[in-house]
Amino acid sequence: MRLLLLLLLIGYNIANAQLSKKHWIPPIHARGGENYVADHYVYLSTPEPIPFQVNITTGDGTPLSGSPFTISSGNPARVTVGNSQPSAIFIAPSDLNIVKQNKGLILEGSKEFYATFKVRADNHAEILVAKGYQGIGTEFRLGSLPQNMDGSLRNFFASFMATEDNTTVTLSDYDPYVEFQVNGTTISPATQTFTVDTGETVTVSGYANILPNLTGFIGALLTSDKPVAVNTGNALAGMSDPNDGQDFTFDQIVPKEEVGTEYVVVKGNGSDNVEHPLAIATEDNTDIFINGSTTVYTTINAGDYVLIPASMYQGTNNKNMYITSSKPIYMYQILGGSQSDATSGLNFIPPLSCFFQKTVDLIPSINAIGPFTYNSEIIALTYTGSTVKINGNNITALPEPVLGNPQWVTYRIQGYTGNVKVESTGPLAAGLFGSGGNNGAVGFAGYYSGFGSEPRDTDVTVCSNTTTDLFPKIEGNPDPGGVWTPPLASGTGVFNPDVDMPGVYNYNFTGLCEIVNVQVTVSIQQALNPGNNNQREVCINDSSFDLFALLGSGASTGGTWSPALASGTAIFNPAVDVSGTYTYTLAPDNACTEVSATVEVTVNPVPTVAPITDYIICDDALDGDDANGFALFDFNTKTTEILNTQTGIQVSYHVNQNDADSGANPQNTLHTNNRIAYVRLTNTATNCYITSSFNLIVNPIPVMNSSVTLKQCDDNQDAITGFNLTEANGLISTDPNVQFSYFTSNINATTNANPITNYTNYTSGGEIIWVRVTNPNGCFKIATTTLIVSATQITVSNMQTLNECDTYIDANDPDNDGYAYFNFDTATAAILNSFVNNQNLTVTYYESLADALTEENAVTGTTANPYRNIIADAQTLYIRVDSNMNNDCVGLGPFLNLVVNPIPKTELGDNFTLCLDPTTGLGSQNIDATPSNPGNFSYSWTPTNPDVDANGNQNAVFNVAQAGTYSVVVTETTTNCSNTDTITIDASSEPLSVTAILISPLFSSGLATIQATAQGGYGTYEYSIDGSYWQSSNTFSGLTNGEYVISVRDTASCGVTVSNTVYTVTYPNFFTPNGDGFNDTWKIDNLQPSYEAVIYIFDRYGKLIKEISPNGSGWDGTFNGNQLPATDYWFKIEYTINNARNQFRSHFSLKR
C-alpha cells in the first residue's frame, strides 16, 4: 500500500504472520517497477532465548549475501534483499509467465521464527509477513483490488513457489478475456498449467489497460498436486481515479483448509471509497452475514466476490466489523492509511479462533523500513476481559466490543517505536499499520497472529527407549495446564514407557474462550538396538576387519556408519580409513528417534622408510683378490640413513624377505658380491613394523699401468722445466671415464690429501709423482710417474716466416686491419725436414711459452681451418715437437713469425654523372687510383688507360671523356699484394634549344595552356615556368594573361636552356556588378601594350554600349548611368600583332 500498509490484527498480511522453522516468499512484479521500486528487506525475529542461525537462499539455493544470520529473543536481524526491480523478489516483465529457478526466497532455521518482508519507494510501502508451513497447500482463491479504471502503473499479479519436485500447478476460473503479460505481448488462455521443482517459481500479471484485467482475476482458482506457497495482489493499484494515486497492495495467503466462516476486521484511516472487506466464496450458495444479523447480506458462488461497504463498520474507540458465512470464505480487507485514496492497501484476514496464540514476540522495527522511519499504530484483537501488555506494560487504550460477538474486543494502540512484544491473557491477534510521517505519502501494515487450530483427538506412538511429553503431541493449539486422566507416573503429561501403560489418556482444560477435552491414544514401539560402544587399536598395514562385529551380538542391522568408510560398508581398512570415533546409527523409525553406538579405532602408523639408496663399496683384497667382485659390507653404516631422524624404532638387516617379516636371523656385516639386502623397522611402543630392501653393489677398481715416465724439453738449459702432468694420463690408463689427481707422496695420494694444484704447469728438475686414478664409481688405485728433463733439438736457425696480404674477408674482418689467415703446412714441413730421417714426430703451435710447456691451447693453421693472428701486423708462435712413440719432447721454441702485409688503399670514389657538351657529346673528368698508403705500385686499368709513363706503364690518373664502367688493379710490387676498385660513370647534358608555343586560342574564355619542346642534348629533361618548381610534363595549363618563358634542364643538373617568350590572353565569361568587391566590372587584364588594343561592348541587338581601354577600370554594367539588365553582352577587341591589325569577337554574361 502507499500511505498505509495496514497490518490489521485479524488479517492483514498474514503472509509473514506465522512462527515457523521454514518460510517461502514467492516473487512480486511491479508494473513499471524499474522506475520506482526502492530498497527492500527481510526482517527476522523469534521468541527463542538461545541464538540460532537462519539460512536465506534464492529459489535455486544460492545464499543471500551474508547468510546465515543469527537471531534470538529481543535480537532480530535486518537483511537487505535489493534496491530496485529486478531483484531476488521483484522480477522484470521478461520473467513473467515462465518458470524461474533463481527468484523468490527460502528461509530456514533450526527453531521457529517470524519472517517479515518490507519494501519502500517514493510514496509507496508495504509489509508482508510469511506464513511458514501454515501457508503452503494445494488450493487457493486469489484476491486483489477491484479497480474501476487504468493507470499507467496499475496491474494484478499472483506468484507461487514449489516445495517439492514435479509439482503441477493450474490457474483457472477467471474471466476468459483476462490478458497476461508475456515478454512484451499478452496471452489470453482459459487456463494455465505449469510444472515446477523445489524452489522454482512462476509469476503471472495482467496490466490494467486491458478492461477485463480490472476485476476479472479476482477469485481465480490456483490448484496444485503438491504444496506451494502463494502471494497475490497488486503492484500497484487503487480504488479511485489514477490521478488520486495508487499503492502496493499484496499479501501472502493460506490454502483453503485454513480459512473459515467467522471474521473480525478493523477499519483503517481511509475514505469510504477505499474501506471495504472483500469476501471470496470457496463453494456455491455461500451466505454472508454482517455484525451478527440473521438476515443474509448476500449469497455468492465459488470464485465470486462481494465488496462490503464501509458503512457496516461500527464502534466508538475504534471501528470493527463482524462477518460470518454459511461456508468457508477467503477474507481480504481493502483499507487506507489516510483519507487520501492514494493510500489503499490489501490485507488477508484469518478466521476468528479461540486458539489464537497469546503472545507475539516480537514485531521488529514497527516504525521503520530500512533507514526510513514512519508513524505506526498497533492493532490487537483479544477475548473480552483479557489483559493486554506491550513490552511488559499494561496498555491504556480502550477496547471496542465486536457487534454480534461481544466475547471479543479490538484495540488501536499508539505511541510505540522499535521492536515490540505484544501479550494477552486470552487468545490474541496482533498487528501494526503505519503511514508516511516525514517520508511522503506512504503506508504499510502487517499481521502476526497466525491461524488458530482447535485441538483434536490424537493417536501418539512413543518409543520404548525414551520418555515423551504428550501435550505437544495433541493436534491443534490447546492451552497448557490441563488435567490428564488417568494420571501419568510423572504427575505431568510426560509418558514413561518403562512404567506407564499404553492406552487412552484424556486431556481436559477450561479457559476464558475455550473448553478442551480430547483423548490421546498411546501405543509403544520397540526401539532398535545399536549395540555396545567398543574400541580397537591396529597398525596401518594390518588387514581389514568388520566394525559391526565389535558392537556385540545383539546389535540391529540396517544402520549406517559415520563417517563413512572407504569400503561403503562396515569393513574398516587401516590403509585408507583414519583413526577416530565411528558412529553406528539406526535411523528414526516412526516414534523412535535415531540411536547409535560408537567404535573408537586407533590406527597406529608404521615407521616411515624412504627409498633406500644403494649400498655401494669398492672391490677389496680382504679375500686376496681385488678384482673378483667380492667385498665386506657393514650394515650399521646404513642405519642413520634408514631411520631419517625417527626415534623409538629398532632396525634389523636380513638376507631374505621371510626373515625380515619374522625378524629372524639379523645380520650386522656380510661378505658378498652384488645382491639385495632386506631391512625391518619396528616401533618399540606399538610393535607396528615395515620392511624394505636395498641393493648391495661391489664396484671394480680402475685397470691401469702402475708406473710410467714423462719427458719434457728444457726451455732455457737450466735442467728445470714445466710439466703438464696430465700428459701422463694416457700412459697410465686409456679409460676415458677415469679421473686423475696428482701428489708428491704415496700417503697423500692414498688419503687424497694435499693434491698438486698446478698440475698443468708443474715446475720440476725431475722426480717421482704419485697419481690417484678414480673411476666413475669412486673406486681408486695409485700409479707413479717419473719426470725427466731433456734438452731441445731445434734452435733459432730453424726460424720460419709466413707472409699474408691483409685482404677484405667480411664486415667483421675488413682489409688493412692488421689481421690475416695463415696455413702452417709449409712451416711444419720445414721443421720436420730439420730432423734426421723424419722421425715419427708431431709439430704443434702455441701462442705462449706456458701453453707450449703444458701442451694446452694448441692452435692450428690448415687449408680448411687457417689461423688468424691475434696480434696486429706481426706475431711469433711457439713450436713444440714431440715423439709419437713415447710422447717425449724433442724440440721447443719461438720459431714461427707471422707477417701481415697491407694491400694498396685505393679509392676511385662514388659513381657520378659526366656532364657533356650538348653539341659535341664529349666531357672531361679525371679519376685517380693512387693509394693513400706508402709503397711501390703498378696499375692495370680496364679499359686500358691511354696515359702511360716512359716505360709504357699505365698511370694512376685516368681522364674520362665518355660514360662507362672503369676498373683498376693496384699492386704493391714488393709484397705483391694488390687491390681492385671499380666506378660507373653516367653522362648527361642540358638541351641544345627549347621552343615554347601557346596551344590554347590567343583569346579564350578561362585560362591558357603553353607547351615546350626541347631539341638536342643528351639528358632526361624536366620543365619549369617559374624557375623554382620543376615537373616532368612539358605542358603548363591554367595560365592567366601574361608573358611566359619556359626553362628546361637535365635531371643531372648539368645546365639550363630557356625558351622564347609566349604571351597569353583570356577574358572573363561573366561579371556581377553588385558592389560586393568581387567581379564588379568586366575587362580584359594583362594585354600587352604592343597590342594597341581597343575594346567595344554591344548589347544582344548590336547596339554599342561602351568603349573601354585595356588599362581602365572596365565596364560597370550601366548605360548613361542606368543599370542594364542581366543578360548576355557582346564584345570586340581590335589589336596589332606583327604590324598587322586584327580583331576578335565573343560574348559574356551580366549577372545580378
Q: Is the predicted pLDDT of residue 9 greater than 50, yes or no?
A: no
- Which of 976, 805, 963, 983 lies closest to 907 in space, CA to CA? 983
pLDDT of residue 537: 92
Given a contact cutoff of 8 angstroms between Cβ atoms, the answer to whether 647 and 727 are in contact is: no
| Domain identity same for 738 and 642 | no
C-alpha cell at position 577: 580409513
CATH of residue 1123 = 2.60.40
Strand ranges inside 48-123, DSSP E: 52-58, 69-71, 77-82, 105-121
SS3 341: helix
pLDDT, residue 1012, reads 93
Q: Domain for residue 853, yes or no?
A: yes
Residues near 288 by beta carbon (within 8 Å), at least 6 away in sequence: 279, 296, 297, 298, 299, 300, 306, 308, 323, 324, 325, 329
Question: Looking at residue 6, what is its pLDDT?
Answer: 31
Q: Cα separation of 180 and 160, whole Å?
A: 16
Whether residue 275 sits in one domain with residue 206 = yes
| Residue 452 pLDDT grade (very low, low, confident, very high; cuts 50, 70, 90) | low
Distance CA 697, CA 905 (A): 73
Nearest residue to 483 (alpha-carbon basis) of 513, 453, 456, 515:
515
In this structure, are 117 and 137 located in the same domain?
A: yes
Query: 302 near 284, Cβ under 8 Å?
Result: yes
Same domain, 80 and 170: yes
Burial class (CB in 10 A: 0-12, 13-18, 19+), 958: buried
Query: For residues 712 and 1101, what is the distance between their CA atoms, to the nearest angstrom?
Result: 131
The owner of cell 580583331 is 1143
Asked which of 387, 419, 447 is the last residue of a domain, the reply is: 447
What's at 407, amino acid-wise?
Q
Give DSSP secondary structure letters for 119-156. EEETTEEEEEEB-GGGG-EEEEE------SS--TT-EE
Q: Are residues 171 and 270 in the same domain?
A: yes
Domain finish residue from 447, 482, 512:
447
Place of cell 581389514: 544
Please report, for residues 73, 367, 400, 1102, the alpha-carbon distance to residue 47 in angstroms, rounded to integers and kept in the order given.
5, 20, 29, 120
Q: What is the identity of the amino acid at 822?
A: F
Tell me the three cell numbers of residue 405. Answer: 460477538
pTM here is 0.52
Looking at the structure, tell me whether residues 891 and 916 fall in a common domain.
no
Strands (E), 916-1025: 925-928, 937-942, 957-960, 964-972, 978-988, 993-998, 1003-1005, 1008-1015, 1021-1024
Average pLDDT (966-995) is 93
DSSP H or E run through 562: strand 560-562
Identify whether residues 24 and 112 lie together within a single domain.
Answer: yes
| Contact of 764 with 744, CB cutoff 8 Å | no
The SS3 of residue 832 is: helix
Chain centre to alpha carbon of residue 517: 68
Picking from 135, 108, 106, the residue whose alpha carbon sits closest to that of residue 255 is: 135
Instruction: Tell me what the mean pLDDT of segment 844-873 comes to.
Output: 91
Residue 453 belongs to a domain = no
- The x, y and z cell numbers of residue 164, run together, are 517439492
Question: CATH number, domain at 484?
Answer: 2.60.40.10
* Residue 610 belongs to a domain: no
Same domain? For 381 and 265 the reply is yes
Element (H or E) spanning 519, and its range? Answer: strand 515-525
- What is the band of 12 on the pLDDT scale with cuts at 50, 70, 90? very low
Distance CA 338, CA 159 (A): 29
Cβ–Cβ < 8 Å for 301, 308: no
State how far the Cα of 500 lies from the Cα of 493, in Å rounded to an integer: 11
Write phi, then psi, for 1027 (nearest 5 degrees): 75, 0
Q: What is the mean pLDDT of residues 331-359?
A: 86
**pLDDT tens across 156-208, in order?**
999 999 999 999 999 999 999 999 999 999 999 999 999 999 999 999 999 99
Average pLDDT in the chain? 91
Residue ending a domain, choose from 424, 447, 470: 447
Whether the CB-CB separation of 161 and 26 falls below 8 Å is answered with: yes
Look up residue 494 and give its three cell numbers.
510426560
Contact (Cβ atoms closer than 8 angstroms) between residue 344 and residue 270: yes
Phi-psi region for residue 657, left (φ > 0), alpha (ψ -120 to 50) or beta?
alpha
Q: What is the pLDDT of residues 464-506, one digit of tens each?
A: 999 999 998 888 778 888 999 999 999 999 999 999 999 999 9
The total of structural domains in the chain comes to 9
- Strand segments (E) across 391-481: 393-394, 400-401, 408-414, 420-424, 428-435, 443-447, 458-463, 468-469
Sheet holding 1003-1005, edge to edge: 1003-1005, 1056-1067, 1042-1050, 1021-1024
Question: Which residue segment(s) compose the domain that 978 sits in?
Answer: 912-951+960-988
Q: How many other C-beta atoms can be found within 10 angstroms of the C-beta atom of residue 1081?
A: 15
Give yes or no for residue 444 having a pLDDT over 70: no
- The CA-based angle 809-811-814, given to 5 degrees, is 55
Q: Write the pLDDT tens digit of every residue in 609-638.
A: 999 999 999 998 888 888 899 999 999 999
Burial zone of 5 (CB within 10 Å; 0-12 exposed, 13-18 middle, 19+ buried)? buried
Is the residue at 7 inside a domain?
A: no
Q: What's the mean pLDDT in 884-906? A: 87
**439 and 568 share a domain?**
no
Asked if residue 337 is part of any domain, the answer here is: yes
Placement of cell 694446452 in the chain: 856
Rounded distance, CA 302 to CA 34, Å? Answer: 36
Count of CB atoms situated within 10 Å of the CB of 258: 21
Instruction: Report whether 829 contacts 879 (CB < 8 A).
Output: no
Q: What is the average pLDDT across 118-138?
A: 92
Compute CA 316 distance to the chain's CA centroid, rounded to the nearest angstrom.
Answer: 68
**How far is the C-alpha of 471 from the C-alpha of 488, rounded, in Å?**
12
Q: Is residue 380 part of a domain?
A: yes
Greatest extent of the chain over all pairs of C-alpha atoms, in Å = 162
Residue given cell 606399538 in the structure block: 686
Does residue 890 sit in the same domain as residue 972? no
Model confidence over 418-439: pLDDT tens digits? 999 999 998 999 888 777 655 5
Question: Is the residue at 452 inside a domain?
Answer: no
DSSP 662: H
Q: Are residues 942 and 1026 in the same domain?
A: no
Which position has the higher pLDDT, 640 or 341? 640
Instruction: Report how far apart the first and last C-alpha atoms of the chain are (Å, whole number).
Output: 76
Lowest mean pLDDT among 307-316, 587-596, 831-840: 831-840
What local confidence, expressed as pLDDT, does residue 882 receive?
84
Q: Residue 17 above 50 pLDDT?
A: no
Q: How confident is the model at residue 847 (pLDDT cuts 50, 70, 90)?
A: very high
Q: Does a structural domain hold residue 548? A: yes
Q: Report whether pLDDT(716) > 80.
A: no
Per-residue pLDDT tens for 998-1046?
898 888 777 889 999 999 999 999 999 998 999 999 999 988 888 899 9
Residues 126 and 241 in one domain: yes
Domain harbouring 1052, CATH code: 2.60.40.1080
